[in-house]
Amino acid sequence: MTTPPVDLPPLTTDQEVLARIGTIVTPVCAQRLWLLFVDGDGRQAPAVVPISGLSPRPDRHLVGLAKILAGLRSELLNDRGGGAVILAWERPGCDEVLPADRDWAEALVGICRTADVPLRGVYLRTPGGVQRLG
């Protein structure tokens, strides 16, 4: 788990999310899923969770992720409403969006639906930069 500075500005646009992921998830050296959480004001939670050891394609182990996200749902609330999760799939290699990347995005969207956790977006981090998948 990594901890970003606590005085970061809120994430109000997709461009700000892209830039934040580019700052936090660098350099690309592994295949990981990163979980970033924002509250109802768009302020990022002080913890960022990288998950390593995942297969190149989503599999049955992601059921546990849905349970974890569901358990964190109440932690994202503040007086301005519910927060959301931002998911970033990191992988080395080419910058082109691959079929496996699309599979990951689809699976992660489904996991957030199952967990009833608002999803701010699914992003792909490759050596060349960050792009939105869903």
Instruction: Give pLDDT, residue 4.
Output: 55
Give all strands of the β-sheet with 129-132 in edge-to-edge order.
Answer: 49-51, 32-38, 84-90, 119-126, 129-132
Domain count, the chain: 1
Q: Which residues pair with 86 in a beta bridge?
A: 36, 121
What are the start-end ranges of the H helices in the chain? 14-24, 63-72, 99-115
Instruction: Give pLDDT, residue 53.
Output: 87
121 in a structural domain: yes
Predicted structure pTM score:
0.89
Residue 5 has pLDDT above 60, yes or no: no
Residue 13 burial (CB count, 10 A): 10
127 in a structural domain: yes
57 in a structural domain: no
Look up the domain containing 117 and give its range: 1-51+70-83+92-134
65 in a structural domain: no
